[in-house]
Amino acid sequence: MTSLPLAPQALVFDCDGLLVDTEVCWTRAETKIFAAHGHDFGHEQKALVIGRTLAGAGEAMADYFGRPGAGPELAAELLELVRQELAGGAEALPGAAELVNACARALPVAVASNSPRELLDTALTSAGLADLFPVSFAADEVADAKPAPDLYLKACGALGAAPGASVAFEDSATGIASARAAGLFVAVVPSLPGSELDHDWLGGSLAEPELVKWAAGLGYDIAP
C-alpha cells in the first residue's frame, strides 16, 4: 500500500462509524429529533450532522429548523436520544477488532473521537474494544474538537509520535479535515455511502485485504 507510510510512528482511530457501528444509533436518534421538529431525515440531512460534535450538530439543526439560538437545547435533546439508542449496545464494525489488535502489537494506537467522553466510553465498551486503547481522547477534553486539529495533535503527543509520520483512520469529512489540519496521513472508510472524501487510502471496510496486508507489514499478521 504505497499511499500510506510503511513505517508509521502511531495510528489514531476515530470511533463512531469507523470502529463501532454507532452511526445507526445516531441516525435513529437524528431521525426522531428531525421528525419531532417537522422534518424528514435522509442523506442530505445526515450530511449536515455526521462527524460533528453534539454542539455542532445542535447548531446545524438549529439553522436547518430555522430556530436561531436553539443549538444547545437541540444538542441536549439529541444527547438523550443517543443515550437511549446506545443503551441497546453497539457492535464493532467488520475488521475493526482484528485490525486494531494487529496494529496495537506493532505500534502505539489511540482513539480521537468527536463524541463526548460518556458516549465514547459506552461505544468502545459495548463493542469490546475499550481494552485495546490505553489512550483515548473525546471532544469534551480539548479546546476545539474536529474539524480543528486539537484531538489528533493531542493523541499524537500522548503517543510520542510526530503527526506527519502518523496515520488517522476516519469515516467523515469533519474528521478528515481535523486529521489533515494536524498533518496526519488519512485512511478512510466512509460511513455515508456516495461521499466524495479526501484520502490517502480509501476502502469499504477495515477488513479490506489491502489494509490487512499493510497492517501485516507493520510486523504482525492479522489472525483470520
Contact 2, 213 (CB under 8 A): no
Per residue in 72-89, pLDDT tens? 999 999 999 999 998 888
Say if residue 213's pLDDT is above 70: yes
Report pTM: 0.87
CA of 139: how far to CAs of 38, 42, 209, in Å? Answer: 29, 25, 32
User: For residue 221, what pLDDT is reported?
Assistant: 46
Looking at every residue in the chain, the average pLDDT score rounds to: 93
Tell me which H or E stretch contains 81. helix 71-86
Question: Percentage helix, strand, coil, to 5, in the chain?
Answer: 50, 10, 40
User: For residue 2, what pLDDT is reported?
Assistant: 52
CA of 160: how far to CAs of 14, 27, 46, 105, 114, in Å? Answer: 18, 36, 35, 16, 21
Q: Report the percentage of the chain scoring pLDDT > 70.
A: 96
